[in-house]
Amino acid sequence: MYKRILVAVDGSETSERALREGIALAKVHRARLRLVHVVDELTAKGETPSTPADFWNAVRKAGERILESARARAAKAGIEAETKLAEIRTFGSVVRRVPNLIVEEAGRWRADLVVIGTHGRRGMSKLLLGSVADGVVRTSATSVLLVRGAERKTRRAR
């Protein structure tokens, strides 16, 4: 039985699927739910504000909006969720990866389960793009539930 479920959210459709699964599990198990979003200076996307401080503030606000949207979805389903915005400030410091922060947060919060979406990439795209979900699975001492993104079209035999 799960008592503490951590769901990693990033605003993508795959993340939304993971959130729905995390909410459903929290309801069934009457578990606490924590929603985590990681903002990363190096990989952040968005407008280019005039100063680094403005840029970082914009990145954090975007992360906070993602968390608030996820928290509202949980509340609508009758689940009270905690939120956590984790930050990777890589410029001028040791590089920390997103999967590491998710795993560290799961350990700190003593999660019984981590729920995370996976795009199911294979081959070269997986090699080039990497996978946060794969990194979490490889390094987590906590059980991890991978939730697939949109169903992939199968190739027709020729």
Profile the chain (158 residues) by mean pLDDT over runs of 10 residues.
96 95 98 95 60 84 96 97 90 68 97 91 49 92 92 54
DSSP-derived 3-state class of residue 69 = helix
Q: Residue 35: name the closest of 71, 79, 1 by CA.
A: 71
Burial group, residue 22, by CB count within 10 angstroms (0-12, 13-18, 19+) = buried
The distance from CA 39 to its chain's CA centroid, rounded to whole angstroms, is 10
pLDDT number for residue 127: 46
Kindly calculate the radius of gyration of the chain based on its CA atoms and give it in whole angstroms: 16
**Res 53: pLDDT:** 82
Q: What pLDDT does 102 receive?
A: 96
Token pair for residue 89?
């400030």
DSSP result, 75-110: HHTT--EEEEEEEE--TTS----HHHHHHHHHHHHT
- What pLDDT is recorded for position 42? 63
Q: What are phi and psi of 108, to 5 degrees?
A: -60, -40
pLDDT for 55: 81
Domains and CATH numbers, the chain: 4-148 (3.40.50.620)
Quick one: pLDDT at residue 128?
A: 42
